[in-house]
Structure 1
Amino acid sequence: MIPGPCALHPNDRGRLAEQTRAHYGEDWSAFYSGFLDKVGALLDAHSAYLLPGSGSAGLEAAIRNQFAPGQTVVVPDTGFFGARLAEIATALGLRVRVVEQSLGQPVDVDQLDQHLSGADGLACVHVESTTGIRHPIREMAQRARARGLVVVVDGVASAGSEVVQLRAAGIDAFVSASQKGLGGPPGLAVVAFDDLGAERAARAHPRSWYFDLGRWARSRAEDIWEPHPVTMPTAVVRALAESVGRITATGIESWVDGRRRLAAQLRGGLSGLGFETFAPENAAANMITVVAGSGARELVARAARGGIMVAGGLEPLSSAARIGLVGATANSEHVTALLDTLSASR
């Protein structure tokens, strides 16, 4: 029960076991384009892309296609992945304005607003895996867009577990990955744009061949035989499509509500056993529950003795424990099994 990569549903494992299929041809092109439309609808996006690579590759693609070197971007310091976002932006030649904040609280939107003046964009994490805190990206995006800023969101730990609405929230670019809340195997980055973000990406022409998403858009629009400029891992795409299909068949609101109730069950059970969860209740993420305090390392050890893997912490909470509710183990039976294991091994 780690925060990713997730355990796969049997149907998804079945896709991986099939003979390799070609990444071109009319059948593949129709399937692939239809799947991208479903991903875009899931995120309330104008358009979506799948890139072979990690979520970090997706973040680089989004930043390259929304900003130019020398522009200034504001990045709240939310934890390990907030710091990584700042590192990526710096590596791509942006001027990064890091906003320090309390690690144990969601971003203070009023405080953030004071740092937006004179900037070109805001890059922020939706759910910070370090802390298990869900940050108020809708309110943050609205403040930023009111000032004319571009908004890029790291949603690697939120897509599929939180409701994400790019166009409704005013988010220019949103990035996730296949192996967490979307329930697929690792290997694909998901990059999505709202209308303004898509227009900006079409004009961007970044200094990269691979991450020039205008190239990817042209391939999809103009090549009915091969709708992407590189070889795609077709088995991974098909497995992810199976998982996303279950989400869309349920409906994203109902799916996320189930995740919300499951996370509440986990937090309540941990509290009853004397463990201290880190995130405040009103900002606790659905996908990741972080346990801090003196009992965190013991929790990891107890779970391991019962045959359950729980992740350790990330800097600056390296002594914490991180429990993931993703994929095939995100259900009440597995949560109950974990709580029973922790209780029995006291």
Structure 2
Amino acid sequence: MPDLPPPIGIDRPGSFSRSVFHERHPVLIANLVGDFPYPPRIAEALEALLAESLAGTVPPRTPGGPEIHTWHLEVAARAGLPWDSLPFLWAESYFYRRLLRAVEYHHYDSPWCGVDPFAPQKHAQLDGPELRADLDAYAALKGADAADRRRALLLASLWGNQADLGFRTNNPGADTGVGELLADDADALWALAEAPGEAPVIVVADNAGREITADLALVDHLLETATGPVELHLKPHPYFVSDATGLDVSDTLRALDRDPHEEVRDLARRLRDAIRVGWLRLRTHGAYVHPTEYRTAPADLAEEFASAKLVILKGDLNYRRLVGDREWDPATPFAEAAGYFPGPVAALRTAKSDLAVGVDPARLAALDAEAPDWRLTGTRAFIQVRP
């Protein structure tokens, strides 16, 4: 196997990855303190975490909570290192793990145990006008041509990734209009998802709110057309700002139950029925909150991926885990960067970080000239498949 490119870091002034720590995280911490009446000890712990992440070093103490053995090994390997020397993916994951510790999410003797620090932001999106427009569009698909409906559901799931609340933390006015598809392997995706056989299709979710709502509509279509079950993989606990958990799916279904459109209420009913009979399986795994790439996924999760008819990975974080959050040449073929994956895989991702692979060289040159920040705005997207 050829040598992998170096990881993207957070040390380069002016880089997107550095701005996440120096521009996004301060706003994030201020939002949390504003959303909850945290006592002084929690507010002080959040401010101390922010200060440490901007100018400190990694302490030797392992952050509490589940998957403690993995985190012990990861922290032991980096204890004493300056934060700005860390790989971006590792540092960002570690920041959110430490954030959960600061808000006492895993402290069983704390009244803040199990309180999702991002719940107010998630719930606001479920009640917002953008989701209202999404559901109106979904209801309008009734009676549409089958091919047009299938295409609309796939694109809604893809562009739903623009609603990432982490992305919007310091970009509240970000353009969320549909943009340009830089790769479109949709035909290959459908050929794999609807192929004969009883193996499951796995959809690895990214964000709650508008995105998981669109994902559930896509899952409903897969349940109708696939020949085996569908698995929806979720985070085991809150992670990045809007990452979807089982509770978020439950909250979303309740929101759909209240919708004025009969088509939307029927969607929620079908999904519940599918869960009850085991045709739709909600799953999770500790690896989804590890600070690592899928290249080093635990054996049991790798076996699940290998036995699936297709694994559909949603969003930017899953993309970074898949190809590696590394300094790839954007013209590198997707099949090369994801070639290690143990089974057929599809990525649905809007570009919101420096990482890119599988971009046509001619289009790449034009993009770099026309819009140098094209990787960061969420207005370019990819449907990429490695069969």
Q: TM bucket by the smaller chain?
A: under 0.3
User: TM-score, normalization: structure 1?
Assistant: 0.28
User: TM-score, normalization: structure 2?
Assistant: 0.25
Determine which structure has the larger strand proportion and give its number.
Answer: 1
Determine which structure has the larger helix proportion and give its number.
Answer: 2
